[in-house]
Structure 1
Amino acid sequence: MSFLDRLDSTVSRYLAEVAGPHERLALLRWQIGERHALDRRETMPGHVTTSAFVLSPDHTQILLIDHVVIGRWLQPGGHYEPAASFHESALREAVEETGVAAAVLHAWHRGGDLPFAIDSHEVPGNPRRNEPPHTHHDLQYLFVADPALPLTAQEEEVHAAAWKPIAALAEIAPLAFARLRALKPAS
């Protein structure tokens, strides 16, 4: 199955099974319908990214990064890189940016590739890469890891990686934060 067919199937399933009534993902669905190369960062007005909400087993902490370009704390993630599943792309970004060890896909996903949230959001341009402002269609996945294990920030993209109280996510990703509050911790 091609990347776009896989993405179309994933987005359709998300809209049917997870999305709230105001989540329409109009731009993403239009770009899929127009057959844009959404797996390429040059594709405008937007392209796919993946990110990881890495939780402590008791759901009281979340792993965040201090992003060099954006200049604020965010969940680890980045431009989609080819992988067998979207969640594997998200996990690869988390490991690269934070050095988090032994993270596992959260039980909410039931071993599948359905995103916990899809957040299409505007990002500033990057003059170093000659990128104008554009949209990231971020497929977001949940993982669980031990916050006692050491972290190593990837210094090219990340000033720091740290475990923060889960409430820090309220400003960063309000949709995901609201959904997380309804989840039970891993047992």
Structure 2
Amino acid sequence: MRTAMSFLARLDSTVSRYLAEVAGPRERLALLRWQISERHILDRRETMPGHVTTSAFVLSPDHAQVLLIDHVVIGRWLQPGGHYEPAASFHDSALREAVEETGVAAAVLHSWHRDGDLPFAIDSHEVPGNPRRSEPPHIHHDLQYLFIADPALPLIAQEEEVHAAAWKPIAALAEIAPVAFARLRTVGVPG
């Protein structure tokens, strides 16, 4: 239980800081904050009605492209990410997912983060159930981080979860992740 408590304390601090420093006026994260206050074990995928995931917006150095995956279960293009796995920081968990799913090499945390663990965006969203895992539809509280990588380096899609990994125009994020896409203006990406 000690690990769960330290995870919750770290998550609580991260979410509070995000709400104070980054979030827009309509971002309240009510369910996530309630689950934290109720001491739900949010680093376990079995926790319902939701649990923590991490994901990576991997941008090209000129911010013109973003690395996306064609997700097997969800059936559409998304940023790489997945269920939280223990890591020194939340952004380390996000980067591990990006590397596992795409094989992206030499990705570095974007300077927006100032070498900290403050999420670029937190997106609590519904996901379909996964019958293979006996999971009902539920909520992913996704801590999202920005990274930079060279789009000329080869990619290797993780075939169990990903049909393909590819660099797409940054505008593809408008539909996939509207909050993060709008926030990209703060790092010099035209909206």
Range into which the TM-score falls when normalised by the shorter chain: over 0.9
- Report deviation, 1:183: 1.3
1:63 aligns with 2:67: yes
Residue deviations 1:34-81, cap 9 Å, x none? 000000000000000000000000000000000000000000000000
Letter in 1 for 2:32: L
- Report deviation, 1:91: 0.1
CA–CA distance in structure 2, aligned partners of residues 182 and 18 of structure 1: 11
Match of 2:93 in 1: 89
1:22 aligns with 2:44: no
- SS of corresponding position for 2:155: coil
Q: Equivalent residues in 2 for 1:107-186 (5 A)?
A: 107-184=111-188
- Report deviation, 1:181: 2.6
- SS of corresponding position for 1:2: helix
Match of 2:55 in 1: 51
CA–CA distance in structure 2, aligned partners of residues 182 and 15 of structure 1: 17
Letter in 1 for 2:154: P
Give the CA RMSD over aligned residues.
Answer: 0.8
CA–CA distance in structure 1, aligned partners of residues 186 and 147 of structure 2: 16
Provide structure 2 residue ranges, at least 5 long, that are not aligned to the other structure: none
- Report deviation, 1:30: 0.1
Match of 1:80 in 2: 84
CA–CA distance in structure 2, aligned partners of residues 66 and 96 of structure 1: 14
Per mean C-alpha deviation after superposition, the further-off stretch among 175-184 and 98-107 is 175-184
- Report deviation, 1:184: 2.6
CA–CA distance in structure 1, aligned partners of residues 185 and 89 of structure 2: 26
Provide structure 1 residue ranges, at least 5 long, that are not aligned to the other structure: none
CA–CA distance in structure 1, aligned partners of residues 185 and 104 of structure 2: 23
Letter in 1 for 2:139: T
- SS of corresponding position for 1:137: strand
- Report deviation, 1:141: 0.1
CA–CA distance in structure 2, aligned partners of residues 56 and 19 of structure 1: 24
Aligned length: 185
CA–CA distance in structure 2, aligned partners of residues 125 and 181 of structure 1: 34
